[in-house]
Amino acid sequence: MSAPATPEFNTRTPTIQSGSTILLRLPNGDAKAVKIDKDSTVSLGRLGAFYANGLINEPFGRTYDIVEKKLTLIPPRTLAEVEDTDATNEYINDGEFVQPLTLEEIQALKQSGAHASEIIKMQIEQHANYSLKTEYSKEKYKKRKEAKYSKVFTTIEPTLFNVCEYWFKKDQTRIRDIRVDALSQILNMANIRPGGRYLAVDDASGLIVSGILERMGGMGRLITICNTDSPPAYPVMVNMNFTNETAAPLSSLNWATADQSHTPVVPPSDVPSDQIKSDRQKSRLNKRKAATDLLNSTREDLFAGEFDALIVASEYEPFSILEKLVPYVAGSGSIVVQSPYGQILSDLHTKLRALPGYLCPSVTEVWLRRYQVLPGRTHPTMNTSGSGGFILHAIKVYNDENANAITSHRRSKPNANSSSSNGKIIIAADPADASMEDANETS
Amino acid sequence: MWSTAREIAAGDTVIIWLTREVVQSLVVTPGKDFNSKFGNYRHSDFIGMPYGSKVGSRTGKGFIHVLRPTPELWTMALPHRTQILYIADISLIISYLDIRRDSRVIEAGTGSGSFSHSVARSIGPSGHLWSYEFHEARAKKAREEFAQHGMSDIVTLTHQNVCKDGFNLTDAADSVFLDLPAPWDAVEHAKQALRKDRTTRICCFSPCMEQVLRTVSALNDAGFSDITMYETLVRPHDVAHVPALQSVTEVADKLKKAEGVREIKRLRQIAAGQRSHENPHGEKRKRSEEGSEQEELPVAEAEDSGSGKRLKTDDEMDDGTPSQDADVSRNLDELSVHTVRAGASIPAPPAKISVSKAIPEVRGHTSYLTFATLLPPMPPAPPEDTASQVPETT
């Protein structure tokens, strides 16, 4: 058995290229975004600086040590088995003077070009109580010092997971609290696949758009609706290092141009050739014509409908968005709405339950817990994110006015239809409406 | 995989949505019927309907929705042969393992095929999934399903125990997913099957912490790095549409009103008592009191019999205390005004609000997801000449 022979699709550049914005993992565990330009010097603050050329054409995921601005490739860290001893912290007291090595002496060592490992070794040698520490405590001490003096970093492959994690740590409000587990669920619930057709409203800095494009792999169609006159800025996409082919399915409309009853006002681009005075004017008109053509073709695509899913992560009232865009979603298509707030989705849920075109709207919250995995020291991380947001999912269906619930003969009894097991309250005034979704559930 | 046409055709696999708990799949076969407690249907009636249609039963009682399959709906509908993976775990694994168009993925075991369908969707028509199942009957059933769902081209299913016999692959896969009782026994085989020309990833799915610890040390020994572990769940919420919560000011107003009514009754009875001193016929007194109450104090109607009893005791306590007729009637006037005002301040019935909370019983644990990365081997030590790293000085 062997892998298929066809050349693979490159979602992103497989190696680091000049002009890429890439993520680096620093010794303290934080990720930092840096731009790699040929012949430039990249500064990492306390870690010092290095020549960018050392990373160009390198694969992602490697670990380097900065030595005099040059990069030395070093092996990845492995988990060190810690041999437990009888030591306890019985004889270690707070506030004791244990480190005769002064800050000035350490500074001098650093300036003399001493390697981090040498400084740490000296600190350990001078440390009065080091030998009293437990082996686990010694490990922790070394790790803390390494984070302080080491000039080692690792390039992070810009997978969707890594980029989402980076943004969530950096500024989770800008990505509307979409944690990586929420993003993953949204993409699965919306059935994103190569070749699908999707509508998205992304006020989450382009995180949703990045996820959809990555899963489409350059095949299919993605139309986003934004609130700006010009094409939307999706800053998360910069970190994804997509190839042009990956970004190709995307085009954008705004809330005015996405309105079918509205005729966008565009400047004329069809000027008779005898009126064109210069090449500059001609190229300007050509550009304008290309923009107008793109606008018109995108509108045609949208209004043709039959999209496989609608994905919403927006600052605007979600029901108003659904009212406008759900008509363009195909039957059986998924509708996925994300919000940092449960309340907003509860309100939306109440509205959708009363409508026959939405099958089984449901609200879920995501939950994720990461563990420290070290031999003999495995436990959930001490600090974790409190919330990764809420998701509402529904399936678009075509109603049939003539279809009746199996329980229709029981309608004379009040509440016969609303006794669903999950305690849902049906709010429609007319029990015939209320039965549309749940009547089957009552028997 | 499944039909992407707008309308349902003969031979399509469709999802029949009966309720949120009862979701089934069937292959549309003209001549066949679908019978359920939600009515009887002919397959041939589905043909030509758009996916997502609500269909009423032939008797007019009961309906179903006919949906286009997705891996998520398939997970709800599939026949369980084993414990299966659900969306929270599946979606996080797909993201972490970086599974996307054209990815080459290994899974073991196949189980009920819940994860397989998600992978097949994400890798698209030119990716590949090698799936291994050591249970012969399950392997056979899964193979049939994959064929029925048009996945035979991209899924290779092998009946094999990978812990013993490995994957028969070398440098072939971008990622490996192990859902096995003893994943540590398959780690070295997985390493052999993974590509060495790029970063590759592995996920081991185990319900118990003891399994995680053994897996972690096997991964570490095999040279995997960046070992980490997650647990993820979905918390479904119940949404209720309930009246907006009442303000205690309204409660206070009601109590004040009741208080006023009680006082009016008391004063009225004192007044009646004084009159009865002048008129010693007890029965007549009672009747006249009732009559006057109805005339002057319609607000008192709301009072229940319980508070009436309490009023009597108050009266008994107050019996015999000297009071003046003029004072009593003045107090009555003031109280009536106060009582009416308190009543008027109660607003119209409040609007409804939507509230939500996690459902009472939720899935509390599925499995631990242990992830690790395998980096391409280190290149041989670079030649002494490192000039390429230094910008040319011009």
Q: What is the pLDDT, as a whole number, of residue B394?
A: 40
- A402: nearest CB among B56, B71, B229: B56
Q: Are strands A307-313 and A197-202 parallel, antiparallel or unpaired?
A: parallel
B239–A360 CB contact, under 8 Å:
no
The tens digit of pLDDT for each residue in B71-103 reads 999 999 998 888 899 999 999 999 999 999 999
The tens digit of pLDDT for each residue in A190-205 reads 999 999 999 999 999 9
User: Based on the domain organization, do B219 and B88 belong to the same domain?
Assistant: yes
A72, A391, A440: best mutation site toward chain B, by most B Cβ within 10 Å? A440
Task: Give the integer Cα–Cα distance in Å for B115 and B267.
Answer: 79
Task: Give the integer Cα–Cα distance in Å for B355 and B243.
Answer: 10
Q: What is the pLDDT, as a whole number, of residue A171?
A: 95
Task: Give the integer Cα–Cα distance in Å for B15 and B51.
Answer: 10
Whether the CB-CB separation of B209 and B235 falls below 8 Å is answered with no
Helix (H) or strand (E) holding B155: strand B155-159
The tens digit of pLDDT for each residue in A380-438 reads 998 888 889 999 999 999 998 888 887 654 444 343 333 333 433 333 333 333 334 44
Residue B379 falls inside a structural domain = no
User: Based on the domain organization, do B321 and B264 belong to the same domain?
Assistant: yes
**A238 vs B318, residue with greater confidence:** A238
Task: Give the integer Cα–Cα distance in Å for B98 and B106.
Answer: 13
ipTM of the complex: 0.85
Chain B residues in contact with A390 by the CB 8 A cut-off are: 237
Tokens of residue A355, six digits = 């409508």
Q: Residue A435 is which amino acid? A: S
- Return the CATH number of A160-399, one of 3.40.50.620, 3.40.50.150, 3.40.50.2300, 3.40.50.10860: 3.40.50.150
The tens digit of pLDDT for each residue in B260-300 reads 999 999 999 999 988 888 776 655 545 544 444 444 444 44
Can you give the CATH number for the domain in which B55 is found?
Answer: 3.10.330.20
Q: Residue A360 is which amino acid? A: C
In this model, does residue B213 exceed pLDDT 50?
Answer: yes
User: Based on the domain organization, do B145 and B282 belong to the same domain?
Assistant: no
Task: Give the integer Cα–Cα distance in Å for A217 and A196.
Answer: 10
**What is the Cα gyration radius of chain B?**
39
Q: Residue A60 is which amino acid? A: F
**A305 vs A82, residue with greater confidence:** A305
Compute the nearest-CA separation of A161 from chain B (Å). Answer: 6
Greatest mean pLDDT among A250-254, A382-386, B81-85, B327-331 lies in A250-254
User: Based on the domain organization, do B113 and B191 belong to the same domain?
Assistant: yes
Chain B residues in contact with A189 by the CB 8 A cut-off are: 72, 87
Q: Which of A18, A41, A44, A17 is nearest to A33 (CA)?
A: A44
User: Based on the domain organization, do B56 and B88 belong to the same domain?
Assistant: no
User: Based on the domain organization, do B280 and B190 belong to the same domain?
Assistant: no
Torsions phi, psi for A230 (to 5 deg):
-90, 170
- B91: nearest CB among A1, A61, A187: A187
User: Based on the domain organization, do B220 and B287 belong to the same domain?
Assistant: no
A157, A186, A373, A411: best mutation site toward chain B, by most B Cβ within 10 Å? A373
Chain B residues in contact with A219 by the CB 8 A cut-off are: 101, 124
User: Based on the domain organization, do B212 and B308 belong to the same domain?
Assistant: no
Question: What integer is the mean pLDDT of B180-195?
Answer: 97
A29 touches chain B (CB under 8 A): no
Nearest CA in chain B to A39: B391
Q: Which of A309-318, A420-429, B3-12, B114-123 has the lowest mean pLDDT?
A: A420-429
Task: Give the integer Cα–Cα distance in Å for B192 and B170.
Answer: 5
In this model, does residue A102 exceed pLDDT 60?
Answer: yes
- A346: nearest CB among B118, B233, B355: B355
- If you average pLDDT over every residue of chain A, what do you get? 86
- B237: nearest CB among A342, A360, A438: A342
Burial class for A207, CB neighbours closer than 10 Å (0-12, 13-18, 19+): buried
Domain ranges of chain A: 21-77, 160-399
A378–B379 CB contact, under 8 Å:
no
In this model, does residue B336 exceed pLDDT 70?
Answer: no
Encode B19-56: b = buried (16+ Cβ within 10 Å), e = exposed: bbebbbbbebeeeeebebebbebebebbeebbbbbbbb
A1 touches chain B (CB under 8 A): yes
Q: How many domains does chain B have?
A: 3
Q: Domain of B50?
A: 13-69
A189–B230 CB contact, under 8 Å:
no
The tens digit of pLDDT for each residue in B135-160 reads 999 999 999 999 999 999 999 999 99
Q: What is the pLDDT, as a whole number, of residue A82?
A: 59
A390 touches chain B (CB under 8 A): yes
Compute the nearest-CA separation of B357 from chain A (Å). Answer: 9
A28 touches chain B (CB under 8 A): no
Q: What is the pLDDT, as a whole number, of residue B225?
A: 92
User: Based on the domain organization, do B82 and B224 belong to the same domain?
Assistant: yes
Interhelix angle for B248-278 vs B325-344, to 10°? 160
Torsions phi, psi for A433 (to 5 deg):
-70, -45
Chain B residues in contact with A422 by the CB 8 A cut-off are: 238, 359
Selected residues 236-255 of chain A with any CB under 8 Å from a CB in chain B: none
Compute the nearest-CA separation of A404 from chain B (Å). Answer: 5
User: Based on the domain organization, do B21 and B127 belong to the same domain?
Assistant: no
Q: A22 in helix, strand or coil?
A: strand
Q: How distant, in Å, are the alpha carbons of A266, A272, A275, A280, B64 from that of A269?
A: 9, 9, 12, 14, 52
- If you average pLDDT over every residue of chain B, what do you get? 85
User: Based on the domain organization, do B176 and B297 belong to the same domain?
Assistant: no
User: Based on the domain organization, do B32 and B56 belong to the same domain?
Assistant: yes
